């Protein structure tokens, strides 16, 4: 699956920024790339039984209270899922996860949760299936991509 071909086929504009591999929001910030879009943090979490999985997308500088989030999502306690589960469900490794990865979940086994504050921005930063580049894509473009792949999301105040 080539994300650039997908974005081009859907006429979704993006700006690509190549850079050395980064494994955290802090490392990405230190690169000083001055990308217009809001930086995001992407958390892959699961419920206690491991029967439900979530990709949570928030503004990078926000902290997440998993206990509060689990209550709001109506699930038992949440915890971070293993790298093995991340690979199984989204075909990606830690440090490279972004909202774009949800389209690789062909069986719709991962629920997408998006911080509603993201919708206050024109664009957001996301990795294009690798942590050696960052794309700046409009929020409308992301919504168009999600609609094309029939991927609903839970919009939540975090």
Confidence (pLDDT) at 113: 98
- Domains of the chain, start order: 3-156 (3.90.960.10)
Residue 45: pLDDT band with limits 50, 70, 90: very high
Q: ∠ CA 78-83-86 to the nearest 5 degrees?
A: 75
Q: What is the DSSP letter of 149?
A: T
Q: How far apart are CA 108 and CA 77, in angstroms?
A: 21
HSE of 75 in the Cβ direction (CA atoms, 13 Å)? Answer: 18
Q: How far apart are CA 103 and CA 148, in angstroms?
A: 9
Strands 153-156 and 110-115: parallel
Residue 31: pLDDT band with limits 50, 70, 90: confident
Q: Model's pTM, two decimal places?
A: 0.93
pLDDT, tens digit, 9 for 90 and up, residues 93-149: 998 999 999 999 999 999 999 999 999 999 999 999 999 999 999 999 999 999 999
């Amino acid at each position: 699956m080539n994300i650039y071909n997908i974005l081009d086929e859907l006429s979704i504009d993006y700006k690509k920024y190549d850079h050395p591999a980064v494994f955290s929001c802090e490392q990405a910030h230190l690169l000083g790339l001055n990308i217009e879009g809001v930086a995001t943090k992407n958390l892959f979490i699961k419920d206690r039984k491991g029967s439900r999985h979530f990709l949570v997308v928030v503004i990078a500088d926000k902290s997440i209270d998993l206990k509060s989030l689990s209550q709001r999502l109506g699930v038992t306690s949440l915890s971070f899922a293993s790298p093995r589960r991340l690979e199984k469900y989204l075909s990606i490794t830690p440090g490279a996860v972004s909202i774009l990865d949800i389209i690789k979940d062909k069986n719709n086994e991962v629920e997408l949760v998006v911080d509603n504050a993201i919708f206050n921005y024109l664009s957001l930063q996301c990795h294009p299936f690798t942590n050696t580049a960052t794309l700046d894509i409009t929020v409308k473009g992301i919504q168009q991509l999600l609609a094309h792949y029939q991927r609903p999301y839970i919009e939540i105040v975090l």
